[in-house]
Chain A
Amino acid sequence: MSAMTNLISGIADYAPMLVRKPAPKFVSREGNRIYGIVAEFGETPAVYKAAQAVRDAGYRRWDVHSPFPVHGMEEAMGMKTTKLPLIAGGAAICGVLFAIFLQWITSGVLYPMVTQGKPYAAWEPFLPITFELGVLFTAFACLFGMLALNGLPRFHHPLFSHERFYRVSNDRFMIAIEAEDANFDPDKTRALLEQAGGDHITIIEEED
């Protein structure tokens, strides 16, 4: 699954009139697109060890769901640090440059006006606004970047078609592996999850 297909698939989710969603790798007997496979675990150590097993099997597109935060889970899952700081940093630089340009072009070049006897393009009064715009851009980039990286907002998620999945906010832990993962194979992945101690292993279909 290349980044390009990812992007197209993401656009197709929100604007189906623009692009068609790429063909699924697996379909069910009824012809429905397969979202992935889900396994349940009853205890934190079990899901922790299972996450390590899934990580070591080389899966990339998968997630662990739990009713409460589990310390060290990101390591067990082999998750890398988020790219969000880079997005925020880029936005901060853009905000700062935009603010300096905006103020310099207006008060220094296009419409120079004597204000309190100060020089036209003095840098001092620019700084608070530069700071504010830098912060504003960064805040927007953080919020919307976080939403975009998480694939939010969305109306529905295929996992919600699985009745038992709702227990993930109560008393069960779940590992969901997506069919889009390069390593995904209905039988092998099921075997892996079984071996890791999961029960109620279910294939999730996407229903249109």
Chain B
Amino acid sequence: MTSVTANSPAPDQTALSDHDWQHRLDKIASDPRMTESNIRAQGAIGKLGMPLLLVGVIGLVLTIIGAFSMSGRHALAAFEVGVFTALAMSLGSIFFLLVFHSLNAGWIITGRRVFENMGSIVWFPWACLVLVVIIEMASGGVLLKWIAGPGDNYLLNKKAPYLNAGFFIVRVLIYGAVWIFLGMRFAGLSRQSDDSGDRALGRKARFTAGWGILLFALTTAFAAFDFLMSMDYRFFSTMWGVYFFASCALASVSAAVLVLAVLRSRNKLEGLVTEEHFHDLGKLMFAFTVFWAYTAFSQYFLIWYSNIPEETMWYTYRKDNGWMWLFAFLCFGHFIVPFLIIIWRGVKRNMLLLGVMALLMIIVTAADMVWIIRPMVYTDKAVLDYGLTDPGIAGVWLDAAGLLGVLGIWGFLLTRALEKGFLLPTKDPMLHESMKHKNYV
């Protein structure tokens, strides 16, 4: 056996002989935990699909009704809140898959299929974004005012090389190509290994993860610039991409915990995804809760300190228009409360408690999107130009409809993906590590 150094990289053949590999596969296949009823979702998840689809369709229909009866701006904002929450969960899953594959993570294998399934349905939130682009283009700019062209606006003329409709469409297509490719690739390779048991597939995924991580970082950050930051074209923040990415990672790991907790409560993956796996996923949830607070506060703090009008107006606008309750809610609900709860070891190792916290983290991620998107609806200018009036609490149903509409369909697609094939990669070379994973602390 040749030694592996930087100058003579790993050979194509693996250290385990084919005979030993077959032996390991047989041993895993005959493991009492690997029964068909334990590792297939049949029946356990399918019943959830239809109610989710119903919620989704009713939500979207109500959003369309709201668009005509109340305000198109409001309906589009509500829709985008849902889209970006769903996109955060799918994109975060792709991020975690990139990290798992590039670091050869063994512990998560039994739960990795959930991430793969969430990543593979990234086409849906992306298709919603395309719909948003079409609506914006057709209407000459609903929330993205710059899309109609710079006109005689000095700032928009300066920013026109980036903020113009043509380049925007190209970018959105690139985002879609990268995300859908990565999402499909990891799910596809993993499913392929279920059938063939080919050990080289993991290496292919690892190679993809290497260059994919760069493209992922750029596309996620720029998508956040394009759709969220440019709603107020005067505002700019270099932290914005990281800020959205923090939501992605948090929402995704929370969604994975939630899905795994639901599966476990329906007697699936018994003994395969244990409290040890929940403990580690809980650590990630805790870490990204803190990371979100860190990025969100850093952004706010620097803008507050430097006190430059074109930056501070993003916050002062929200402050002056009665959104401080949401600011306070995010401070407590998105950071202080989950920080003080998830920090406990017992919470992380308790499936039920961690599942409840995961649901809370998805809700507050949506609330974060509300904080970004929703105040842009009834701006002073919009009220003046279109004669809109903020319906206040009476308009909440439309926000709920947009959010639940998108999340309902996303959840339905996820249940469909989970129903297909196994709930875990059954022939992954590192599966045996995950099956006996243990935290020694």
Interfacial residues, chain A to chain B (CB-CB below 8 A):
71, 81, 85, 89, 116-117, 124-125, 127-128
A residues in contact with B305, CB < 8 Å: 116, 124-125
Nearest neighbor of A74 in chain B, beta-carbon distance: B440
A residues in contact with B297, CB < 8 Å: 127
Interfacial residues, chain B to chain A (CB-CB below 8 A):
297, 300-301, 304-305, 307, 343, 345, 440
B residues in contact with A89, CB < 8 Å: 343
Partner of A116, one of B307, B343, B345: B307
A residues in contact with B440, CB < 8 Å: 71
Partner of B301, one of A71, A81, A117, A124: A124
| Distance in angstroms between the alpha carbons of A117 and B305 in the assembled complex | 10
Some 15 contacts from A to B, beta carbons below 8 A apart, are: A71-B440, A81-B345, A85-B345, A89-B343, A116-B305, A116-B307, A117-B307, A124-B300, A124-B301, A124-B304, A124-B305, A125-B305, A127-B297, A127-B301, A128-B301
Nearest neighbor of B440 in chain A, beta-carbon distance: A71
A residues in contact with B301, CB < 8 Å: 124, 127-128
| Distance in angstroms between the alpha carbons of A125 and B304 in the assembled complex | 9
| Distance in angstroms between the alpha carbons of A128 and B300 in the assembled complex | 13
B residues in contact with A116, CB < 8 Å: 305, 307
| Distance in angstroms between the alpha carbons of A89 and B340 in the assembled complex | 10
Nearest neighbor of B301 in chain A, beta-carbon distance: A124
Q: Please name 9 further chain A to chain B contacts, defined as beta carbons within 8 Å, in addition to the given A81-B345, A124-B304, A127-B301, sorted by A numbering.
A: A71-B440, A85-B345, A116-B307, A117-B307, A124-B300, A124-B305, A125-B305, A127-B297, A128-B301
Nearest neighbor of B304 in chain A, beta-carbon distance: A124
| Distance in angstroms between the alpha carbons of A85 and B343 in the assembled complex | 10
Nearest neighbor of A117 in chain B, beta-carbon distance: B307
| Distance in angstroms between the alpha carbons of A127 and B297 in the assembled complex | 9
| Distance in angstroms between the alpha carbons of A81 and B344 in the assembled complex | 13
Instruction: Give the distance to chain A from B367, nearest Cβ to Cβ, in Å.
Output: 21
In this complex, the member of A116, A117, A124, A125 whose beta carbon has the largest number of chain B beta carbons within 10 angstroms is: A124
In the A-B complex, the 10 residue pairs with the smallest Cβ-Cβ separation, listed nearest first, are A124-B304, A124-B301, A127-B297, A71-B440, A127-B301, A116-B307, A124-B305, A117-B307, A125-B305, A85-B345
| Distance in angstroms between the alpha carbons of A57 and B440 in the assembled complex | 25
B residues in contact with A71, CB < 8 Å: 440
| Distance in angstroms between the alpha carbons of A116 and B307 in the assembled complex | 9
| Distance in angstroms between the alpha carbons of A89 and B345 in the assembled complex | 13
| Distance in angstroms between the alpha carbons of A71 and B436 in the assembled complex | 13
Nearest neighbor of B438 in chain A, beta-carbon distance: A71
B residues in contact with A124, CB < 8 Å: 300-301, 304-305
| Distance in angstroms between the alpha carbons of A81 and B345 in the assembled complex | 11
A residues in contact with B304, CB < 8 Å: 124
| Distance in angstroms between the alpha carbons of A97 and B156 in the assembled complex | 47
B residues in contact with A85, CB < 8 Å: 345
B residues in contact with A127, CB < 8 Å: 297, 301
| Distance in angstroms between the alpha carbons of A124 and B297 in the assembled complex | 9
B residues in contact with A125, CB < 8 Å: 305
Nearest neighbor of A81 in chain B, beta-carbon distance: B345
| Distance in angstroms between the alpha carbons of A25 and B326 in the assembled complex | 64
| Distance in angstroms between the alpha carbons of A85 and B344 in the assembled complex | 9
| Distance in angstroms between the alpha carbons of A71 and B345 in the assembled complex | 20
| Distance in angstroms between the alpha carbons of A124 and B304 in the assembled complex | 8
B residues in contact with A117, CB < 8 Å: 307
Instruction: Give the distance to chain B from A44, nearest Cβ to Cβ, in Å.
Output: 16
Instruction: Give the distance to chain B from A172, nearest Cβ to Cβ, in Å.
Output: 24
Nearest neighbor of A89 in chain B, beta-carbon distance: B343
Instruction: Give the distance to chain B from A102, nearest Cβ to Cβ, in Å.
Output: 19
Instruction: Give the distance to chain A from B343, nearest Cβ to Cβ, in Å.
Output: 8
| Distance in angstroms between the alpha carbons of A89 and B341 in the assembled complex | 13
| Distance in angstroms between the alpha carbons of A124 and B307 in the assembled complex | 13
| Distance in angstroms between the alpha carbons of A117 and B301 in the assembled complex | 15
Instruction: Give the distance to chain A from B306, nearest Cβ to Cβ, in Å.
Output: 9
Instruction: Give the distance to chain B from A116, nearest Cβ to Cβ, in Å.
Output: 7
| Distance in angstroms between the alpha carbons of A124 and B300 in the assembled complex | 9
B residues in contact with A128, CB < 8 Å: 301
A residues in contact with B345, CB < 8 Å: 81, 85
Instruction: Give the distance to chain A from B30, nearest Cβ to Cβ, in Å.
Output: 25
| Distance in angstroms between the alpha carbons of A14 and B304 in the assembled complex | 52
| Distance in angstroms between the alpha carbons of A149 and B73 in the assembled complex | 61
| Distance in angstroms between the alpha carbons of A144 and B301 in the assembled complex | 33
Nearest neighbor of B343 in chain A, beta-carbon distance: A89
| Distance in angstroms between the alpha carbons of A124 and B296 in the assembled complex | 12
| Distance in angstroms between the alpha carbons of A127 and B301 in the assembled complex | 9
A residues in contact with B300, CB < 8 Å: 124
| Distance in angstroms between the alpha carbons of A89 and B305 in the assembled complex | 30
Nearest neighbor of A82 in chain B, beta-carbon distance: B441
